[in-house]
Structure formats: C-alpha cells, structure tokens
Amino acid sequence: MQPATVRVWDPLVRIFHWSLAILFFFAFLTGDEWDKPHEIAGYIVGGLVVFRILWGLVGSRHARFSDFVYRPSTVIAFLKDSLRFRAGRYLGHNPAGGAMVIALLLAIAVICVTGYMMTLDAWWGVEWVEEVHEAAANTTLVLVGLHLLGVMLASFEHRENLVRAMFTGRKRTD
Amino acid sequence: MSIKTATVFLAAVIALPTLTASAFASSDEASCGNAPRDTWMSEDAVRSHAAEKGYKVRNVKVEDGCYEIYAIDSEGRRVEAYLNPTTGDVVRTKLDD
C-alpha cells in the first residue's frame, strides 16, 4: 500500500522552478552567441524572479519565505547535521534549501539587472557591467551544482525522491 | 507525464543548444587574417581607426582573432564591430537593437 502523501509544492512554484531551470541554462549557453533569444530568455527570467518574490510573500504555505528562511546559525547547524546524516526532515525547504532559494534569487536578479543595463546607451560597452554579469552567471552555475548535490543528499538521507516531488508537488506525510 | 518522460524532455532541452552551440560560434578568423599578435596595431591605433569611421568607442577587446569594439555608431546606435587587427578594416558589425 502506498504511504499517505501531502501536497507541498503548488503548481505555480513548480512551473516557476522548471521554467527558470530551463531558461537559465538556455541563457547561459547562448550568451554572446545568439543574442536575441538570450535577451528574451533574460527578460522572461526577470519576470519569473519578480513573480517568485511576490509569491514568496502571498503564496501557498511552503512557497512563502516565512516558511523557509532561517537565521544563518540554523542553516550552518543544519548543514553540519546533514553531513553527519542526522539532519531532520522538512516538508518544505530545509534551512539550507531555503538559503539556496535566496542566494539564487539574488544572483539571478543581478544577472537580469546587469543584462538589462547592457542594452542601455549609458552602460553599453562599460566593462564592469559585463564582468559582473558574467561573474553572477558563473556564481549561479556553481550554486546550481551545490543545489543538485543538496537535493541528492536530502533525498538519500530521507529516502525520498525530491526531484519527483518538484514535478508532482507531493511528498510522503511522515 | 511520468518522471522518466519529464527527465528525457529536460535532458533534450539542455542538450539541444549545447550540441548546436558550435554552429552559432562566430568565425571571423579568415577576414581578420592570422597575423601574429606582435604585428597587430595597438589598441590606441584601433580606437583612432574606429573614431575616423564615425564610431564613438566605449571598449576594445580581442575576440576570434579580431579587435572587437563596443561603440556608438555615427547614427547613434549601439554596435559591436569587429576590426581586422592589421588593416583596421571593419569586417563585421552587430547592432544591439
């Protein structure tokens, strides 16, 4: 018999997550190669980030920042516990996952803002804008790598498929 | 869709631009020549060359064996121009519209 499940991620959170993942990779691969689609992807990503911030304020329970933003000491303690395979299970984002959401939103916001700046005469050809844009993109790539590792670790620790949960929205209740 | 289908779909979306990216890579080496770096005009010289052609140069870089300048052209448009590093000829321009 299947264990009881509960809906954790609402449809908008899930659509946001996978759209962002696809568009970020598309934009990363097309930078300075295929300009128009790269820019369009950037504008859509900017819209997604704005949406997620608003949804984090008024959205479903586990979508809200108040559900997963913890103080840094809690995040560090959680990471230590994770590495010792004794971290607690969270239905929504665990403290490290929550910190990752914030870090990614910030890094991607920087990419979007600097990207937009480069389309304005005032910042056209201004080297630092391009450098910050590239640095933020590379930082995001590193964060994505850590995110994937974190998801795998948490999935392994609590014997659940967190990737599937981000598709179906559902997790085991206990 | 099942998770397996979704994973295949996601992998394809990521793989497609990766595999075709080389098709989009610019190839200006031919028109910029293959002159050794020490025979190139200086960055200042390429800036003057571009200014003479009506460009207000914002930045100079090297890309694909050419000098790449970020400039505002004589019509006030944002442009990336690629210049042959020995002759100063503009071999390619990309407007940022």
Domains of chain A with bracketed CATH:
5-172 (1.20.950.20)
Chain A: residue nearest B80 by CA?
A: A125
Over range A1-7, report the average pLDDT: 88
| A81 SS3 class | helix
Q: What pLDDT is recorded for position B4? A: 83
Q: Please, which residues bridge with residue B69 across strands?
A: B60, B81
Spell out which residues of chain B touch residue A124, defining contact as CB-CB under 8 Å.
58, 70, 72, 78, 96
Alpha-carbon distance B80 to A121, whole Å?
Answer: 13
Are B17 and A163 in contact (CB < 8 Å)? Answer: no
Domains of chain B with bracketed CATH:
27-95 (3.10.450.40)
By Cβ distance, the residue of B14, B78, B94 closest to A124 is: B78
Name the residue type at position A1.
M
Are B21 and A163 in contact (CB < 8 Å)? Answer: no
Chain A nearest C-alpha distance from B64 (Å): 12
Q: What pLDDT is recorded for position A126? A: 96
Phi first, then psi, for residue A36 (nearest 5°) are: -65, -50
Over range A5-9, report the average pLDDT: 97
pTM of the model: 0.85
Scan residues 19-78 of B and list those with Cβ closer than 8 Å to A: 21, 24-26, 57-59, 69-72, 78
Spell out which residues of chain A touch residue B96, defining contact as CB-CB under 8 Å.
35, 119, 124
Spell out which residues of chain A touch residue B25, defining contact as CB-CB under 8 Å.
33
Are A119 and B6 in contact (CB < 8 Å)? Answer: no
Q: Please, which residues bridge with residue B78 across strands?
A: B72
Contacts of A157 by beta carbon, 8 Å cutoff, 6+ apart: A82, A85, A87, A89
Over range B53-77, report the average pLDDT: 94
Q: What pLDDT is recorded for position B31? A: 83
Chain A: residue nearest B77 by CA?
A: A121
Are A33 and B21 in contact (CB < 8 Å)? Answer: yes
pLDDT at A122 over 70: yes
Are B58 and A125 in contact (CB < 8 Å)? Answer: yes
In tens, the pLDDT along A152-171 reads 999 999 999 999 999 999 99
Contacts of A161 by beta carbon, 8 Å cutoff, 6+ apart: A155, B3
The ipTM estimated for the assembled molecules is 0.73
Are B59 and A125 in contact (CB < 8 Å)? Answer: yes
Name the residue type at position A7.
R
